[in-house]
């Protein structure tokens, strides 16, 4: 929308000056499906050569822009350079930095420019308990949280130094399949030790936080996970395929989950500030519900199908992963499926999609072209949303190659 604007000013002597200019208002939208392919029609799976690093290409089937941001073999003589997991942000809070995990190279964690994707440096003095057990701070773009041994640390990427923030009793970590901490500042963390699970609400300064009541973890290998609001924790106890939501201070049971918790999924907040659990379901939903994306709301004890049989979709493809880490654009979820690697044309197979848990809108983003190569697990599509949701990072062996690199797809709503 454009229009002429006229400004008139008068000074103390009564002299009047008039000027005009044209103001153009560009409509802004938080709808990530704008400009994407929608609907359930099959889309051609076109041949596409592996692109050179930093050379943007257009996905011939979906029209989105894809940038290969690493060359693990050429630059580092390595095997894989990947986002660590869909539930762990690859970008920091203002999208100025990114971290990729590298296998076989001269370093382990590579810090990249979050906008240009240029390599900055290898992070040293950074030793999380496991590959994916680190969290960018929700508000400070220079800070990463991780646990080393029994100590929670804040790591400054600019100086590559860390400060001890809290001492736990005994060796402590974030368990198997960790999920990003609460979307609060200071954050709420959930941890496990040799015999117990509990939460730690970090303080504004070191050694001022609060540990919750501890409960026995038994044989459960997963730690509880802090829900995005910090009002609940989610514990995948894998009892009959289900988990539970608990009070973060007392660890008392709030209720058991409705949806399965032993498949890939993620925790997020919707547009109304409500916590949700988003998961793929292979017959584990109520009444045997299946789908690439089922969503459960914690407070209301309700659930729905976004992508699945109840919406006329096929049985979910294998290798489906989910990311809900668009914390500056709540309610959006990214989904990546492997499925059939040779099917032409496709619907869901080899696709990345974005969906909104409030509106049910689904947009189809690109073909990720991964799976079938020699790197196996490391090539799974660890799709990861940026904080604004307008970019999606994913690893790919690009049609079954011997190495895995990280790619970023720019949605049409991405403005740089």
The pLDDT tens digits for 154-188 are: 999 999 999 999 999 999 999 888 999 999 999 99
Please give the residue that has the higher pLDDT: either 33 or 7. Answer: 33
- 385-410 pLDDT, tens per residue? 999 999 999 999 999 999 999 999 99
Q: What is the pLDDT of residue 171?
A: 94
The answer to whether 281 and 295 have CB atoms below 8 angstroms apart is: no
Calpha distance 39→351 (Å, rounded)? 13
Q: In this prediction, what percent of the chain has a pLDDT beyond 90? A: 85
pLDDT of residue 176: 86
Q: Is residue 13's pLDDT more than 60?
A: no
- What is the C-alpha to C-alpha distance for residues 279 and 286, in angstroms, rounded to an integer? 13
Q: For residue 391, give both structure tokens.
A: 């970019």
Confidence (pTM)? 0.91
pLDDT 10s digits, 20-65:
333 333 334 589 999 999 999 999 999 999 999 999 999 999 999 9
d(C-alpha 75, C-alpha 402), whole Å:
15
Say which CATH number the domain at 7 has.
Answer: 2.130.10.10
Q: Is residue 217 part of a domain?
A: yes
Split at pLDDT 50, 70, 90, the class of 330 is very high
pLDDT of residue 9: 39
Kindly state whether residue 383 falls inside one of the protein's structural domains: yes
Range of the domain at 97: 2-410
As a whole number of angstroms, the longest Cα–Cα distance in the chain is 85
* pLDDT tens digits for range 197-237: 999 999 999 999 999 999 999 888 889 999 999 999 999 88
Q: Where are the beta strands (DSSP E) in 71-129?
A: 80-82, 97-103, 109-113, 119-122
119 within some domain: yes
Beta strand pairing status for 332-336 and 351-356?
A: antiparallel
Task: Name the pLDDT band for 261 (thresholds 50, 70, 90).
Answer: confident
What percentage of the chain carries pLDDT values higher than 70? 92
Task: Summarize pLDDT for 127-155 with one digit per residue, the tens.
Answer: 999 999 999 999 999 999 999 999 999 99
In a domain, residue 415? The reply is: no
Beta carbons of 179 and 87 less than 8 angstroms apart: yes
User: DSSP string covering 179-201, please?
Assistant: ----SSSSPEEEEE-SSEEEEEE
- Give the per-residue pLDDT at 212: 97
Q: Is residue 416 part of a domain?
A: no
b vs e for 316-338, b when ≥16 Cβ sit within 10 Å of the residue's Cβ? Answer: bbebbbbbbbbbbbbbbbbbbbb
Q: Are 317 and 371 in contact (CB under 8 A)?
A: no
Please give the angle made by the CA atoms of 226, 379 and 416, to the nearest 5 degrees.
70
- Please determine, for residue 15, whether its predicted confidence score (pLDDT) is greater than 70: no
380 contact partners, CB below 8 Å, separation of at least 6: 319, 321, 338, 370, 371, 395
Q: How many domains does the chain have?
A: 1
pLDDT of residue 236: 87
Asked if the structure places residue 125 within a domain, the reply is: yes
Q: Is residue 143 part of a domain?
A: yes
What is the reported pLDDT for 342?
Answer: 82
pLDDT value at residue 239:
60
CA separation, residue 52 to residues 48, 49, 74, 225 (Å) = 12, 9, 10, 38
Question: Is 96 a residue whose pLDDT tops 60?
Answer: yes
pLDDT at residue 262, rounded to an integer: 82
Q: How far apart are CA 244 and CA 238, in angstroms?
A: 9
Residue 178, number of CB atoms within 10 A of its CB: 26
For residue 381, what pLDDT is reported?
96
pLDDT of 334 > 50? The answer is yes
Establish if 215 belongs to a structural domain: yes
pLDDT the model gives residue 103: 97
């Amino acid at each position: 929308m454009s229009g002429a604007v006229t400004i008139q000013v008068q000074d103390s002597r009564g002299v009047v000056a008039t000027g005009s200019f044209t103001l153009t208002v560009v409509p802004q939208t938080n709808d990530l499906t704008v400009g994407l392919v929608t609907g359930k029609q099959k889309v051609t799976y076109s041949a596409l050569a592996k692109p050179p690093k930093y050379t943007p290409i257009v996905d011939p089937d979906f029209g989105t822009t894809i940038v290969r941001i690493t060359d693990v073999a050429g630059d580092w003589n390595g095997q894989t350079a990947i986002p660590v997991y869909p539930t762990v942000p690859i970008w920091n809070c203002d999208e100025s930095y990114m971290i990729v995990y590298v296998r076989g190279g001269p370093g382990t964690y590579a810090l990249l420019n979050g906008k240009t994707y240029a390599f900055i440096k290898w992070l040293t003095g950074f030793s999380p308990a496991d590959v994916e057990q680190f969290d960018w701070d929700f508000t400070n773009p220079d800070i990463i949280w991780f646990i080393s041994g029994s100590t929670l640390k804040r790591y400054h990427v600019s100086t590559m130094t860390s400060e001890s923030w809290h001492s736990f009793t005994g060796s402590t970590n974030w368990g198997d399949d960790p999920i990003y901490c609460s979307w609060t500042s200071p954050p709420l963390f959930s941890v496990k030790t040799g015999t117990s699970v509990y939460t730690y609400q970090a303080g504004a300064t070191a050694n001022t936080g609060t540990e919750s009541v501890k409960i026995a973890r038994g044989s459960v290998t997963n730690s509880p996970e802090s829900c995005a609001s910090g009002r609940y924790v989610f514990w995948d106890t894998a009892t009959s395929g289900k988990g539970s939501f608990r009070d973060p201070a007392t660890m008392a049971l709030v209720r058991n989950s409705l949806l399965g918790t032993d498949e890939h999924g993620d925790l997020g907040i919707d547009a109304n500030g409500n916590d949700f659990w988003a998961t793929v379901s292979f017959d584990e939903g109520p009444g045997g519900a299946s789908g690439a994306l089922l969503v459960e709301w914690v407070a209301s004890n309700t659930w729905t199908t976004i992508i699945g049989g109840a919406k006329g979709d096929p049985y979910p493809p294998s290798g489906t992963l989910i990311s809900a880490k668009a914390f500056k654009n709540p309610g959006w979820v990214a989904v990546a499926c492997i499925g059939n690697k040779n099917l032409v044309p496709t619907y869901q197979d080899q696709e990345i999609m974005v969906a909104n848990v409030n509106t049910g809108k689904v947009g189809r983003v690109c073909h990720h072209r991964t799976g079938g190569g020699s790197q196996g697990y490391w090539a799974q599509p660890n799709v990861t949303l940026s904080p604004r949701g307008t970019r999606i990072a994913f690893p790919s062996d690009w049609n079954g190659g011997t190495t895995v690199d990280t790619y970023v797809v720019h949605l049409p709503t991405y403005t740089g």
